[in-house]
Amino acid sequence: MKNPIVEEIRKIRDAHAAKFQFDLHAICEDLRKKEKTCGHPVVSFPPKRMLKKPSE
């Protein structure tokens, strides 16, 4: 069963990627620009430390 919301998001994402010929660097750069000018606060968290697995 297809989820209409997921399908809509995929369609929007594909259209956005096509504007940049599917160049990941260009897509990310565009999203960073939008992030800075959107007016919403952007939160960034430090990376979480991975716990070492106990020796088996």
What digits encode the pLDDT tens for the residues 30-50?
999 999 999 998 888 998 888
Asked if residue 55 has pLDDT above 70, the reply is no
Arithmetic mean of pLDDT over the chain: 91
When comparing pLDDT for 27 and 1, which is higher?
Answer: 27
pTM above 0.75, yes or no: no
- Report pLDDT for 8: 97
* Domain ranges within the chain, ordered by starting residue: 4-37
**Of 50 and 7, the one with more pLDDT:** 7
Tell me how far apart the alpha carbons of residues 55 and 32 are, in angstroms, rounded to a whole number. 41
How many angstroms separate the CA atoms of 27 and 16, rounded?
8
Give residue 48's pLDDT: 87
| Residue that the structure tokens 């989820």 belong to | 3
